[in-house]
Every structure is written in C-alpha cells, then in structure tokens.
Chain A
Amino acid sequence: MTKSPLVSLSNVGKLYPRLTALNSIDMQLNKGEVLGLFGHNGAGKTTMMKLILGVISPSHGEVNVMGVAPDTKEAWHMREKVGYLPENVSFYEHLTGLEVLTYFAKLKGFSRQESKKHAIALLEQVGVAHAMKRPVKTYSKGMRQRLGLAQAFIGHPKLLLLDEPTVGLDPIATADFYQTVDQLKSQGTSVILCSHVLPGVEQHIDRAMILSSGNMLAMGTLAELRREANLPIKIKPHGLNGALRQDSHLAKYLLNEESIDILTVPDKDKLTTLRQLLAYESISDIDVEKANLEQVYQYYLSQHKDGDQTGNTVKETLS
C-alpha cells in the first residue's frame, strides 16, 4: 500500500467544447511529497486540481486518488482525507470565523462539540484566533487567506491541494505558511500547491510541474529541471577591477563588453572557472548564483512559445 502512489494521473485530459483545458497529463504523487504546479492563468492548474478532487470528470485517461477514482461514489471516504483551498474564495461574510470553520468541520464529519474544538485549534494554528468571534466581512485579505488555510487543514488531511496559498499573505505569514507545509510533509501529508509567486517556493517543494495551455512542459525535481534547461550560472567576483577582460579563458564568459565582472558560466564549467578566479591574488569575494525557479520557469515557457509559433506558421500555410 505504501508503495502505490497517493495520486496518479495517467494520460488524463479534459476537453471542453471550445477549449482543451488539459492535454494528456501523466503524474504521480507519493506520500509526503510536495509538488509545485506552475503556469500562467488558464494553463490548466485549477482544472487539474478539480480533476483530482473529483469535482469534474476527465474526458479521457484515468485519475486515481488513494486507490479510487475521485469522481465516483466510492470516493466518499477519500474526501474526508483531502483538504482544498480554492483560489479567491470568499466565505460566508456574515458568519464569524469560528462559525465558518465549525460548519466546515461538521461537514467533514466531526460531531458538534469536536468540530468547535477542532476549529479553535486550527484558528490558533493559523493565527486568526484573536478574531474568531468577529464576522468574516471585517477580516483583511490576509486573514481571509489564513481562514481558508485553516479550512483546508480540517481533519488532518493526507492530501492537500492549495490554489495560490500565499496570495495576500505578508512575508512573515508566508514564512509561517511554508513552515506549516514542511511540518505537514514530515507528518506524511502530500501537498500539491499552485503558485504565481515563485521566489521562496523552491526550498519547500520536492518536484515541480510546469503547465502551459493544458500541456505539461516539464516535470521533475528542481535539480533535474535545471540540468535539463542547462541554464548558466552567474558568478560575480569582487575586487578584480576589470582584470578579467585580459584573461583569455574567462573573458568569453563576460556578460557583455561593458559589464562589470559578471560571468555567465555553463554548469559544467563552474568549478574550473572558480579555480581560475581563485588564482587571482586581489580577489576579495565571490558570489555564485544558480538559476532560480523563475528563470527555469521562463526557460520552459519560452521553449514552448517557440514551438507554438512554428505550429502557427504551419497552420497559416495550410490555410
């Protein structure tokens, strides 16, 4: 049982009459794994989450969550173990935070007393306990988002689907949130999170999937994606005062003629370059910057766009 993945999608697609929302996706998510889902608006992230939640059925392919197809009646008990934070949800405005959470806890199968106790504990965990007796309409955007997170955490889910979880959160709350994700992960919870906000996500995800207009562009660990993208590393030595321009080995890595000593080096040449730099007596410091998630993301998107354009030209010639 532990060997079989928690979530698996095989050749899954979702077609609407005038739109292909998702195109043959293959994906597996194991217990305790965190998957980041990246893509522009309309890339199919939300559609994929809805398919995993069983709110919609796939046009083709197979979705399997905890051993059942999520859109069938058998998925009943699976739903108790799944938490979902939708994008832009506005809760019942006239209810207090505590009432909202108690209601949802009851729907997850908690008894009246248990649900209230559980709701209070969750509100304390996300830091909205001080405002739990106030109506939701008085909440700030960040507080609403925290309430949404608390809602997703009801019933200690085994699988969490979070759509834009950090939108509206301040940096401290964002850090708190990722800490919670790490904690849940160590308890064996699997998490799928979609985000537009790329910086800060990298340390907390095991694998990333990049989607664009319904197609999966890339999936793998960040290291794998980086290797595949083969993006250069930026090296910035300090204290050389332009000496590099005379160096025949290193000058070719300089970003451009005028740039102050920034080298863009392919991954494989990293160590050689660093050794050469260290040979300089006057060197005072070196900054090494790997391609970040955002650059990796941009790379895959631009690859796809090129592909798209050739596709368009073919279509134009045909018509």
Chain B
Amino acid sequence: MSQILAVAGKEFHDGLRNRWLISITIIFAILSIGLTYFGAAASGAVGVTSLSTTVASLASLAVFLIPLIALLLSYDSFVGEQESGTLLLLLTYPISKTQLLIGKFIGQGGIIALATVLGFGSSALILYVQINDVEVLRLFGTFISSAVLLGLSFTAIAYLISLSASEKSKAAGFALIIWFLFALVFDLALLALLVGVEQGVSQQGLTQIMMFSPSDIFRLVNLAGLDSSDVNGALAIAIKSSLSQGQLFSVLLAWVVIPLVGANFIFKKKTL
C-alpha cells in the first residue's frame, strides 16, 4: 500500500511541477466563467444567462477538452518510462505491476479530477452567489462529477495506449487518433446512421450504441436534465430514452474500470 502511495505521490507532484494542474484549472475556470457570463453574447445580452444554456455549452466544450487533456497528460506514462529505462528498474523493486498502475492512476487521475473540480467549481460558486438557487449546485454537481469520470476514463484509455505502444511518438499519434475518433468521428457516424438508414435504428438502439463512447455518455448525463430546447441533433432523440442518471453514471464508471483492467492485463503480458 505504501508503495502505491509513493507512486501516486510522485505522479501528483510531477503534475504540480509541470504546471499541469494550474494550467488545466485556469483553462477550465476561464472557459466556464466566460461561458457563464458571455454565453448569450451572440444574442445581444451579456450577463448570467439561463442555467441550462450554460451547462449545455459547458458540456459540449468539455466533451472535447477533457479527453484531449487527459490523453496528453498520460499518454507517455508508461512508454516514456520504458524508453528511459526506469520502468524496468521499477519492476525489480518490491512493487507489482498492478500496484504501479494503480499508483499512477491515483496520481494522474488526481490531477485531472482536482483541476476539474477547481476549474468548473469556481464558476459554479460564482453562479450560486449570483442566482442564489440550489438548482445551480445540483446541475453543476452532476456536471462536475461526470466530467471527473470522463477525465478518469480517458486517463485509463491513455494507459492502454501507453502500454501498447513501443515508442513515445507512436503513442502520441495514437492518442490523437483516439481523441479524434471519440470526439468527432463517432458522432458523425452516428448522425450518418440516423440520416442514412431510414427506420433502421430505433431510439433504444441509438442509445445503446451511444454507450460505446464515454463522450456521448457524458453528453447524455448532462443534457438529459435540461430543457430540450437547448439541445438538438441526435442527442435530442436519445435523451428521451429510458436510461436513468444512475444507469448512465454506472456505464461511465465502467468506462473507467474496464480500460484500467485492460491496461493491467496488457501490462502483465508485456515483456521488457
């Protein structure tokens, strides 16, 4: 256990030292405060806009940013140490591969989780002070906790990449492709499916397909509770589906656990 904490502590300190924590927090804070105040600027009004519009815009922005940041933070976690030779050295220490993986996950996941909480939490606090409505805390609570899970999910996916790649540069390229797939291609394909195949996909079927992308689950979680006037596209259909928030959160959690278990499996098989 102390070994796991030692690894987690080192990774967390690395995140502090490399200014990851501070930069992610600032990015999230500026974006969320900006969207909160100027989200409606296009329609001519400046100031705190409707709560659901704010959360909807934040969610559609976070769904691109969080995966990218998580992948950037963690893609070289293993392949980098493999290249410098420290991974081999670590494995001769009394620490198992699983402990090393969990330690890194706690450390790097901690960075992304803390940055999400601080960054988005700041705008939640400002909104709460301005509007003085408990609804703010409820909506932002859902948003922030699902954003944390989204970040952790992509951290775990980054480990899968980092453990499969043979070189750091390949891992970087692969991470970019994975991000592109989940952020854009998956939704485009979904849209094509909806438009192209008439009567092909039921509402139920569409929701089930969306479970294959953590980004879409994140969208569903956050947009389901809003007025549907702020949501459009393929999502609007899916939102009317039968899945509860609890179920969506469980699937998102599965998207953290399953890649992590997979990464552990690959790590165990890996020879150095």
* Residues in A lying within 8 Å of B, measured CB to CB: 50, 53-56, 76-77, 79-80, 82, 84, 86-92, 94, 103-104, 106-109, 111, 151
In the complex, the answer to whether B2 meets A55 with C-beta atoms within 8 Å is: no
The CA of A108 and the CA of B85, in the complex, are separated in Å by: 18
CB B215 to nearest CB in A, in angstroms, measures 32
Contacts of A77 in B (CB 8 A): 94
Closest 9 A/B residue pairs (Cβ): A106-B6, A89-B85, A79-B94, A90-B84, A107-B93, A53-B92, A84-B92, A80-B94, A86-B85
The CA of A56 and the CA of B271, in the complex, are separated in Å by: 7
| Residue ID in chain A nearest B94 by CB atoms | A79
CB A152 to nearest CB in B, in angstroms, measures 9
State the main secondary structure of chain B at its contact with A: helix
CB A13 to nearest CB in B, in angstroms, measures 16
In the complex, the answer to whether A90 meets B85 with C-beta atoms within 8 Å is: yes
* Residues in B lying within 8 Å of A, measured CB to CB: 2-3, 6-7, 10, 14, 17-18, 84-86, 88-95, 271-272
For A55, give its contact among B17, B94, B272 (CB under 8 Å): B272
Max chain A C-beta neighbours (<10 A), residue from B18, B88, B91, B92: B92
For B86, give its contact among A80, A89, A106 (CB under 8 Å): A89
In the complex, the answer to whether A55 meets B92 with C-beta atoms within 8 Å is: yes
Contacts of B90 in A (CB 8 A): 107
In the complex, the answer to whether B272 meets A92 with C-beta atoms within 8 Å is: no
- 14 A-B contact pairs sorted by A residue (CB < 8 Å): A50-B88, A56-B271, A84-B89, A86-B88, A87-B85, A88-B85, A89-B84, A89-B89, A92-B84, A94-B14, A107-B90, A107-B94, A109-B2, A109-B3
The CA of A50 and the CA of B87, in the complex, are separated in Å by: 13
In the complex, the answer to whether A79 meets B86 with C-beta atoms within 8 Å is: no
In the complex, the answer to whether B86 meets A55 with C-beta atoms within 8 Å is: no
State the main secondary structure of chain A at its contact with B: loop
Max chain A C-beta neighbours (<10 A), residue from B14, B84, B272: B84
Contacts of B89 in A (CB 8 A): 84, 86, 89, 151
In the complex, the answer to whether A108 meets B94 with C-beta atoms within 8 Å is: yes
The CA of A80 and the CA of B94, in the complex, are separated in Å by: 6
Contacts of B95 in A (CB 8 A): 107
In the complex, the answer to whether B3 meets A107 with C-beta atoms within 8 Å is: yes
The CA of A64 and the CA of B148, in the complex, are separated in Å by: 46
CB A165 to nearest CB in B, in angstroms, measures 14
Contacts of B18 in A (CB 8 A): 94
For A107, give its contact among B6, B17, B84, B85 (CB under 8 Å): B6
Contacts of A104 in B (CB 8 A): 93
The CA of A111 and the CA of B1, in the complex, are separated in Å by: 12
Contacts of A107 in B (CB 8 A): 3, 6-7, 90, 93-95
The CA of A50 and the CA of B67, in the complex, are separated in Å by: 37
The CA of A211 and the CA of B214, in the complex, are separated in Å by: 52
For B93, give its contact among A50, A79, A90, A91 (CB under 8 Å): A79
Additional 19 contacts, C-beta under 8 A, given A94-B18, A107-B93, A108-B94: A50-B88, A55-B88, A55-B92, A56-B271, A56-B272, A77-B94, A80-B94, A86-B89, A89-B88, A90-B84, A91-B84, A91-B86, A104-B93, A106-B2, A107-B6, A107-B7, A107-B90, A109-B3, A109-B94
Known: A103-B6, A106-B6. A92 touches B94 (CB 8 A): no
For A92, give its contact among B6, B86, B91 (CB under 8 Å): B86
The CA of A111 and the CA of B2, in the complex, are separated in Å by: 8
Contacts of B91 in A (CB 8 A): 55
Known: A79-B93, A79-B94, A94-B17. A103 touches B10 (CB 8 A): yes
CB A102 to nearest CB in B, in angstroms, measures 9
CB A118 to nearest CB in B, in angstroms, measures 14
| Residue ID in chain A nearest B272 by CB atoms | A55
The CA of A104 and the CA of B14, in the complex, are separated in Å by: 15
In the complex, the answer to whether B84 meets A79 with C-beta atoms within 8 Å is: no
Contacts of B94 in A (CB 8 A): 76-77, 79-80, 107-109
CB A169 to nearest CB in B, in angstroms, measures 18
Contacts of B2 in A (CB 8 A): 106, 109, 111
